[in-house]
Amino acid sequence: MPEGPTGIPHITAELIALCVESLFFGGFTVLYLLAVWILFYRGTATRSRLNKVLFATSTVMWILSVVHICIDTQRATEAFIVHGNTADGSLNFYSDLASPTHFAKNVIYISMTLLGDSFATYRLFVIWNHNWWIVVLPIILIVATAVTGFGACAIGLIIAPSAIFSSDFQPWLRTFFSLSLAVNLLDTILIAVRVIQTNRQLNLRGTSSARLAPLWAVIETIVQSAAIYSIALIALISTYIAGTNAQYICLDALQPLIGAVFTLIIIRVGLGCTLSRGNTVGPATTGLRNGSTRATTDTELALPTLAPDTPGRPYRRDSVQMYEDDGQRRARRYSLVDTA
């Protein structure tokens, strides 16, 4: 394979990619273990259904990252130990897009991307009061992302183009990366819009700005997490369009980064980093009723189930989980109620 415009040789890019992925995977592993502790072992928690869903999702992401880095390590071993003694042996090995290991690592990356995008869409679904219409477009984009991603993998096996930048690959990969970015940005914007709408409604009801801080904390957590992934994905798209081998570095770094961003949300909420101590939402006169206090540390993500837009549709009695670190690590549940 020829070198990219930046002059980074393919083999060098693969080695750097493995090192960067190893660093990100180490950070993801630490975050994953901390998230598991928060979900199940922080205090005497009652293990809720949502905790188990979050645990299952983060665990699948971590397992996929483990398999991915194992494949990359095996590929490096094969390239430099088995084929390293022949002329251009390592380069020819890495350039073989139809090899089983190359196919496997791409399938794992696509699966990781779809898992992260799907959960982000589910979060959007919950915040918009389980409104199916709001997630129609994100679901369509996710399906299109899956088609283009796995389609590119199929092309690699069937056509076996000589380079990742070949005309056979470019339309599929560019579309795949762009669709994934679109899903991430769309979900983030719609979540922010919903929380801002609720903030405005509570302002009209006379809620003080201090008591509205948790709603802005929700936006801050989600937007910051989405920004990390979006920046990395934009870097990948840019390097691929530029035709530089640096795209291999961005691609392998994204695998553990997707899981790290997911667990960061769990950790920030679970440790109370998104809610200042004593910052609670107001009483029933503001549209929120203070429910019963329970001794639990369920990390059910700060996802407010907000008022429906459809007249006559009852409020869902899902919870807005806000966490306080009050020394005893007790959590308060605030449920949205109809004040009409």
Q: Write the pLDDT tens digit of every residue in 210-269.
A: 555 555 666 677 777 888 888 999 999 999 888 888 999 999 999 999 999 989 888 877
What's the pLDDT score for residue 295?
A: 30
- The least confident of 183-197, 222-236, 323-337 is 323-337
Query: Measured between alpha carbons, how far is 4 from 91 in angstroms, rounded to an integer?
Result: 14
From 225, 229, 238, select the one nearest 182 (Cα to Cα): 229
In the numeric block, which tokens belong to residue 95?
């350039």
Query: Measured between alpha carbons, how far is 322 from 1 in angstroms, rounded to an integer?
Result: 53
pLDDT in tens, 63-90: 999 999 999 999 999 999 988 888 788 8
Question: In this structure, are residues 214 and 268 in contact, taking their beta carbons and an 8 Å threshold?
Answer: no
Question: In this structure, are residues 115 and 68 in contact, taking their beta carbons and an 8 Å threshold?
Answer: no
What's the pLDDT score for residue 47?
A: 55
Q: Could you tell me which residue, 69 or 99, shows the higher pLDDT? A: 69
Q: Could you tell me which residue, 164 or 7, shows the higher pLDDT? A: 164
pTM of the model: 0.76
In the numeric block, which tokens belong to residue 30?
């630490």
High-pLDDT (> 90) share of the chain, %: 33
> For the chain, what is the mean pLDDT?
75
What's the pLDDT score for residue 192?
A: 81
Whether 12 has a pLDDT exceeding 80, the answer reads: yes
Whether 332 has a pLDDT exceeding 70, the answer reads: no
Domains of the chain: 10-270 (1.20.1070)
What's the pLDDT score for residue 316?
A: 42
**Given pLDDT bands bounded at 50, 70 and 90, which one contains residue 96?**
confident
